[in-house]
Structure 1
């Protein structure tokens, strides 16, 4: 059985939209594209290298696939280029993405949740979700995420697409690893921990 892992760059107020630069996702009039860029340091680079140092496949929504497919096939010499280009990319889309634009890309046919649930049952490397805000909402509703790797940046943007949006199913999480960059980015790895353990501070 394969683990499905969500890796997300997040602002302190919970927005994951367009961390990488202008033109990435201006939908809804989002005015702060590229908010993550100037916070990167060597620690963050090392964490990313470790996350991609063992075999993995990628799971991407259509918009994220198009963004990455426009860059990585032409940037194989960049750090991570060969790794991303060689990995299998599973694309969740109701339309017909141009799979030929990026080698080793496969469309998830039919319902994305059912398709990914079936993929998880197969033998193979872990499934890493990058970006893909809309797809993640589907994964959350169907309880398909085995681990969250959340990179929280010390920045507030006010509005935009959120990782945990309306309709998120309440659940407890367990912090299993954490790292802090020199720029104040908190990188936390969380695993599902069942129902929320509620209590009270009220005295009898």
Structure 2
């Protein structure tokens, strides 16, 4: 069975839209495309390498796949930073598109129709499946309880709106932090693995006050 690992670059308010540049995804009037790039430094690169250190295939939503397919095959693999282009060009790329209207001409690309196809792929033997971007797909993966690990790069900016990593409806789970790093420019990187059910505590007094009893009754009425 394969693991699904969500790789995400997010703002402090959870936005993951268009981290790489203004033309990447300006939908719904998003004005801050490229917000991650000023924070790309040595620590960022090293932790990104950690995400890709084990053999993997890419699992992408249709829109992110189209961004990658229009970029990485044309990047100079012989450039000093061309290793990621070479890697992405060589591995398999799975793209999920409900409509099927996607050009899978990028070498090694495979079209999946829906989340059921992803579930079948996860059950197969093979390398881990790593997502990049792909907001709608990530929401579906989380809702269908298919995420085994997450690598989250949190950039110290608040964007005020845009496509977000988490949506209501994710399957509830606790995650354990396996490694973390803070760069001098405020970037926080956390690598997490799924651990188990949500643990719950309670700070309530053994004998709640009359005011607390009244508050609880009001909450019931307002629910």
Range into which the TM-score falls when normalised by the shorter chain: over 0.9
- Alignment partner, residue 103 of structure 1: 107
The 8 Å contact of residues 51 and 151 in structure 2, kept in 1 or not, is answered as: no
Q: CA deviation at 1:73?
A: 0.4
State the 1:192 CA deviation: 2.1
Per-residue deviation, residues 9-38 of structure 1 (Å, max 9, x unmatched): 000011111111111111111111111000
Asked if 2 retains the 8 angstrom alpha-carbon contact of 1:19 and 1:36, the reply is: yes
Superposed, 1:101-140 pairs within 5 Å as 102-108=106-112, 110=113, 112-140=114-142
Measured in 1, the distance between the counterparts of 2:193 and 2:53 equals 20
Deviates more, 1:66-75 or 1:50-59: 50-59
Structure 1 match to 2:211: none
Q: Following the alignment from structure 2 to structure 1, what is the Cα–Cα distance between the partners of residues 148 and 171?
A: 14
Moved beyond 3 Å, runs of 4+: none
Alpha-carbon distance between aligned partners in 2 of 1:173 and 1:155, rounded to the nearest angstrom:
24
Structure 1: any 5+ residue segments left out of the alignment?
none
Please give the alpha-carbon distance, in whole angstroms, between the structure 1 residues aligned to 2:22 and 2:11. 17
Q: Which residue, 147, 167, 170 being the options, matches 1:168?
A: 170
For residues 79 and 183 of structure 1, the distance between their equivalents in structure 2, rounded to whole angstroms, comes to 25
RMSD between aligned residues: 1.3
Contact (CA 8 Å) 1:41, 1:182: kept in 2 or not?
no
Deviates most, 59-68 or 174-183: 174-183
Larger Rg: 1 or 2? 2
Task: Render the CA deviation track for 1:49-93: whole Å, top value 9, x for unaligned.
Answer: 232233110001110011011110011332311001001000101
Question: Which residue of the partner structure matches residue 56 of structure 2?
Answer: 56
Alignment of 1:169-184 (within 5 A): 169-184=171-186
Paired residues in the alignment total: 201
CA deviation after TM superposition for structure 1 residue 5, in Å:
0.3
